[in-house]
Amino acid sequence: MELTEKADIKYTNQRIEILAFLRKHDGHPTVDEVYDGVRKKLTRISKATVYKNLKFLTEKGLLEEVNVKGVSRFETNFIPHHHLICRECRKMEDFNSEQLLDYSMKIAEEIEGFTIVSTSTNFYGLCEKCRECKKET
């Protein structure tokens, strides 16, 4: 699904720029990162406005907010997937594993009193870049 194809939303310039940025950004940008990216085009936009728009788009179901160690990040990938999260720089990468999805959902079937619709597993560790940094010191 294209991110901009949703009918009942008024696409202001700001929202279009925010969505364009998110589409190019293949991570899970924070509000600050989105702000920095969008500011290049909309020089007068404030961080509060960016935040408000991100919240709005999340409410409308175009984005998903994920919280990593107290920091809000915005997810644009709606296909079920897992995450690799770096403990140093807090980078969050998508990790796809059909096998793990199947396995988790099989376990989910056995959970009583709770209907599971999706699953996502977080793996914590060190990204390549941070691992290299550690080696040098």
Residue with tokens 């950004």, as numbered in its chain:
25
| Structural tokens at position 118 | 């999706």
Residue 86 interacting with Zn ion (CB under 5 A) = yes
Cα–Cα separations (whole angstroms), residue 118 to 59, 93, 115? 19, 18, 9
Cα–Cα separations (whole angstroms), residue 59 to 56, 104, 132? 5, 27, 39
Using the contact rule CB under 5 A, the part of the chain among 8-16, 32-40, 57-65, 86-94 near Zn ion is 86-94
Minimum gap (Å) between residue 16 Cβ and Zn ion: 22
Using the contact rule CB under 5 A, the part of the chain among 2-10, 96-104, 107-115, 127-135 near Zn ion is 127-135
Cα–Cα separations (whole angstroms), residue 40 to 33, 37, 62? 12, 6, 23
Minimum gap (Å) between residue 94 Cβ and Zn ion: 4
Using the contact rule CB under 5 A, the part of the chain among 8-16, 40-48, 76-84, 109-117 near Zn ion is 76-84
Find out whether 95 and 102 touch, Cβ atoms under 8 Å. no
* From candidates 94, 95, 100, 119, binder to Zn ion by CB under 5 A: 94
Q: Contact positions toward Zn ion, by CB under 5 A? A: 75, 77, 86, 88-89, 91, 94, 127, 130
